[in-house]
């Protein structure tokens, strides 16, 4: 990981806290014992992710892990509570005016729900042309611009006067991609872009992603809960659990030698197409709620190898092999463990 060339996209120690604003008289109610203090929800806890230019980083995690929140923060839709987002090495928050807009346009987002991510009352041509028109990115006729944008994602340009509800789910997702590409981004943050689509359409749209990456030299942050898809498209994989990064490594490495017990469980429990049934041996316990996370390592209540230290100290993310980092106390040498246990 060279520090000299800035990453295309980087999140540095990003945290996101959701705190309910204090209601009127809440202080009084609390003193009278009628109300308990509102606990802030920590959706993200000092998460750092680096995406190098031209890379595809796969982000995997289950509900409550904060991946959607992280996606919106790095895409510039929402500011983090603390930490910073850097685009080409420059902090997003420090930019202003035209520079800020340019930086925002560099990172575009593809959403999960193809039905909700298009304005139902706008024609497809307006949907695609709106932002480029506003930011002066269209050279020549707007109609040609829209045609090219649609063709790039495999849609017939003669349908550009239609409304979103006249398209199928897969086609709508292509419109979403065309809209994102219309502002010539360099990084695409894809939040479960194919999960809502039929299997046969998923393959088409995934192929589209792979083709576009080559043709336009794009960089992806690809979020998915489907490990098979992540394995197929990613160069590197980051695993998240309840607001923290628990493991990250190059794709083949993490699938062959998963280090963190959560990663191991995920890989073991993901059903695969294999002739012959299997016996399931799932890990116990429910996903804890982000508003009441377990102390120390978030995974310890469900971990088959939990030790006393896991309950009190959150393990740091450390290298276990070149390019492979994991946050688990099992990796740490016994001597260092004794220093960590609080007295």
Partner 1 sequence: MIEAPLAASPTQAPASAAPTLVVRDLCTHFPTEAGVVRAVDGVSFDVAPGRILGLVGESGSGKSQTGFSILGLIEPPGAVVGGSIVFEGRDITHLPERAMRRLRGNRIAMVFQDPMMTLNPVLTIGTHLVETLRAHQPVSRSEAARRACEALAAVGIPAPAERLDAYPHEFSGGMRQRVAIAIALLHRPALIIADEPTTALDVTIQAQILFEVQKLARAQGTAVIWISHDLAVVSALADDIAVMYAGRIVERGPARAVLAHPAHPYTRGLIGSVASQNQRGQRLRQIRGMPPRLADLPAGCAFRARCDHATAACEAAPAESTVAPGHHLRCFHPQP
Partner 2 sequence: MSALAFPAGARPRAQSPWRQAFAKVARSKSALAGLVVLGLIILAAVFAGLIAPQNPYDLVQLDIMDSSLAPGSKASAGFTYLLGSDPQGRDMLSAMLYGLRISLFVGVGSAIIACIAGATLGLVAAYAGARVEALLMRLVDLQLSFPSILVALMILAVLGKGVGNVMLALVLVEWAYYARVARASALVERSREYIEAAECLAVPRWRVVMRHLLPNCLPPLIVIATMQVARAISLEATLSFLGLGVPVTEPSLGLLISNGYTDMMSGKYWISFYPGLALLVTIVAINLVGDRLRDVLNPRTLQ
| Chain residues that interact with partner 1, rule: CB under 8 A | 62-63, 168, 170, 198-204, 206-207, 210-211, 225-229, 231-233, 251-252, 255, 265-266, 269-284, 286-287, 289
Q: From the CB of residue 72, how many other CB atoms can be counted at a distance below 10 Å?
A: 18
Q: For partner 2, which residue of 12, 90, 148, 162 counts as binding (CB under 8 A)?
A: 162
8 Å CB contact between 332 and 315: yes
| Closest to 331 (Cα-Cα) out of 263, 270, 283 | 263
**Which residue number, 132 or 315, has a Cβ lying nearer to partner 2?**
132
Instruction: Choose among partner 1, partner 2, none what residue 275 binds, the Cβ cut-off being 5 to 8 Å by kind.
Output: partner 1
Residue 237: phi and psi, rounded to 5, are -125, 140
Q: CA-to-CA distance for 324 and 197, rounded, in angstroms?
A: 32
By CB under 8 A, residue 146 contacts partner 2: no
The stretch near partner 2 (CB under 8 A) out of 2-10, 161-169, 281-289, 326-334 is 161-169
| Smallest distance from partner 2 to CB 99, Å | 12
By CB under 8 A, residue 169 contacts partner 2: no
Instruction: Choose among partner 2, partner 1, none what residue 280 binds, the Cβ cut-off being 5 to 8 Å by kind.
Output: partner 1
By CB under 8 A, residue 230 contacts partner 2: no
| Smallest distance from partner 2 to CB 111, Å | 4
By CB under 8 A, residue 16 contacts partner 2: no
What residues have CB less than 8 Å from 262, skipping those under 6 apart? Answer: 239, 241, 246, 247, 299, 303
**Which residue number, 281 or 343, has a Cβ lying nearer to partner 1?**
281
Q: Provide the mask over 75-104, with x wherever binding to partner 2 is found by CB under 8 A and - wherever it is not.
A: xxx-----------------------x--x
Residue ranges in 156-280 assigned as alpha helix (H): 169-181, 199-216, 227-233, 251-256, 261-269
**Crossing angle of the two packed helices 124-134 and 142-152, in degrees rounded to 10:** 110
Instruction: Choose among partner 2, partner 1, none what residue 162 binds, the Cβ cut-off being 5 to 8 Å by kind.
Output: partner 2
Instruction: Choose among partner 1, partner 2, none what residue 318 binds, the Cβ cut-off being 5 to 8 Å by kind.
Output: none
**Which residue number, 104 or 244, has a Cβ lying nearer to partner 1?**
244
Phi-psi region of 77 (alpha: psi -120 to 50; beta: other; left: phi over 0): alpha
**Which residue number, 37 or 271, has a Cβ lying nearer to partner 1?**
271
Determine the 3-state secondary structure of 220 from DSSP.
strand
8 Å CB contact between 298 and 244: yes
Instruction: Choose among partner 2, partner 1, none what residue 304 binds, the Cβ cut-off being 5 to 8 Å by kind.
Output: none
Q: CA-to-CA distance for 338 and 341, rounded, in angstroms?
A: 6
DSSP 317: -
Q: For partner 2, which residue of 1, 3, 121, 282 counts as binding (CB under 8 A)?
A: 121
Q: CA-to-CA distance for 234 and 31, rounded, in angstroms?
A: 53
By CB under 8 A, residue 111 contacts partner 2: yes
By CB under 8 A, residue 18 contacts partner 2: no
Q: CA-to-CA distance for 326 and 304, rounded, in angstroms?
A: 17
By CB under 8 A, residue 21 contacts partner 2: yes
Residue 17: beta bridge partners?
42
Q: For partner 2, which residue of 14, 43, 70, 208 counts as binding (CB under 8 A)?
A: 208
8 Å CB contact between 308 and 297: no
Residue 225 tokens, joined: 């809960």
Instruction: Choose among partner 2, partner 1, none what residue 335 binds, the Cβ cut-off being 5 to 8 Å by kind.
Output: none
Rg of the chain over all Cα atoms, to the nearest angstrom: 22
Which residues here bind partner 2, judged by CB under 8 A? 21, 72, 75-77, 101, 104-105, 107-109, 111-113, 115-123, 130-131, 134-135, 151, 154-157, 159, 161-163, 165-166, 171, 174, 176, 179, 183, 208, 211
């Amino acid at each position: 990981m060279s520090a000299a060339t800035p990453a295309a996209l980087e999140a540095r120690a990003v945290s996101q806290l959701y705190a309910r604003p204090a209601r009127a008289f809440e202080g009084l109610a609390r003193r009278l014992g009628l109300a308990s203090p509102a606990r802030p929800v920590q959706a993200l806890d000092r998460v750092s992710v680096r995406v190098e230019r031209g890379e595809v980083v796969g982000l995997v995690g289950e509900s409550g892990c904060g991946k959607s929140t992280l996606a919106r923060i790095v895409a510039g839709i929402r500011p983090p509570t603390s930490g910073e987002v850097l685009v080409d090495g420059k902090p997003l928050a420090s930019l202003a005016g035209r520079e800020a807009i340019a930086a925002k346009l560099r990172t575009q987002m593809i959403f999960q729900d193809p039905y909700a991510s298009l304005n139902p009352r706008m024609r497809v041509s307006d949907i695609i042309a709106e932002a480029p028109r506003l930011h002066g990115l269209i050279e020549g006729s707007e109609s040609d611009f829209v045609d090219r944008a649609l063709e790039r994602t495999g849609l017939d340009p003669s349908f550009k006067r239609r409304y979103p509800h006249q398209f199928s789910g897969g086609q709508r997702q292509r419109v979403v991609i065309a809209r994102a590409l219309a502002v010539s981004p360099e990084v695409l943050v894809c939040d479960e872009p194919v999960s809502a689509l039929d299997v046969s359409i998923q393959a088409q749209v995934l192929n589209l992603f792979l083709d576009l990456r080559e043709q336009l030299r794009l960089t992806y942050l690809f979020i998915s809960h489907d490990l098979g898809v992540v394995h197929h498209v990613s160069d590197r994989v980051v695993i998240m659990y309840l607001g923290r990064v628990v493991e990250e490594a190059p794709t083949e490495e993490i699938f062959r030698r998963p280090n963190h017990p959560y990663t191991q469980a995920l890989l073991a429990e993901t059903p695969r197409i294999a002739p012959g049934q299997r016996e399931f041996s799932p890990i116990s316990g429910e996903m804890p709620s982000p508003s009441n996370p377990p102390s120390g390592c978030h995974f310890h209540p469900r971990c088959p190898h939990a030790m006393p230290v896991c309950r009190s100290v959150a393990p740091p993310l450390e290298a276990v092999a070149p390019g492979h980092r994991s946050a688990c106390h099992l990796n740490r040498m016994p001597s260092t463990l004794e220093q960590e246990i609080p007295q």
